[in-house]
Copies of this chain bind each other. A is one copy, B any other.
Amino acid sequence: MASKNVPPPSTLDDPVYRTGVIELLGILAYGEISACERLAEDAKMAPDLKTKVEIAAMATAEFGHFEKLRDRLVQLDEDPYETMQEFAPIFERFHRQTAPSDWLEGLVKAYVGDGLAADFYREIAAYLDPETRSLVLDTLSGTGHSDFVVDAVRGAIEKDPRVGGRLALWGRRLMGEALSQAQTVVAERDALSTVLVGGVDHPGMDLAGIGRMFTRLTEAHAARMEKLGLAA
């Protein structure tokens, strides 16, 4: 229950919060559209038509997420493409560092990325104004294709156990790159960080809280890897 001493939730009247939320929506939107693009690219490596279609379905789901985030930016009177464009270098760097060499690596990347994004959305939701929060919670409802990925990865490991070692390494590399890019963003974007850490007149996490968030994200990543049959 809210005590009288707790500051009111952030509102878009606060210019720092507003800038931060717009940056946040921009980065999430770019993340979704670039995930969609990469999955479409990965689909070409699929070993058969059914797998290709499953990967295309995941790409389509990411596009649906993107649309919601973009529409919120439009609602806030921002040019969504201009806002997103600023974050292009981060994602292009990330994708360059983590180009899958086959469709299984592509699937693991989508699964890990999707899961991480959903966890992150859930973590930050509490610090957002109600409208942005419900949008973000809505977006994290997931692509709903995790069963397919789990079956495909476990099936491939069963056929050739060496695949498990390779994909486990791959998962660690993905997480490492994602955290490294996240740190760059936090370091470069004051307003965006303020959304998370809070400002003078709105609540946020303290540094210890951010540390705990990263621990939770890492633990959830490990659980996801385990579900795929991979050592985290």
Contact = CB atoms under 8 A, between A and B. Distances in A.
A64 B61 CA distance: 11
Question: How many copies of this protein are present in the complex?
Answer: 2
A63 interface: yes
17 contacts: A33-B53, A33-B56, A36-B56, A37-B40, A37-B44, A37-B52, A40-B40, A40-B41, A40-B43, A40-B59, A49-B81, A49-B84, A49-B85, A53-B66, A56-B63, A57-B67, A60-B60
Contacts of A85: 49
Contacts of A50: 81
A43 B37 contact: yes
A48 interface: yes
Given A40-B59, A57-B63, A60-B60, A81 B48 contact: yes
A37 B40 CA distance: 7
A64 to B, nearest CB: 8
Contacts of A56: 33, 36-37, 40, 63
A70 B53 CA distance: 10
Given A33-B56, A40-B43, 16 more contacts: A33-B49, A33-B53, A36-B56, A37-B40, A37-B43, A37-B44, A37-B52, A40-B56, A48-B81, A49-B81, A49-B85, A49-B88, A53-B66, A56-B63, A57-B63, A60-B60
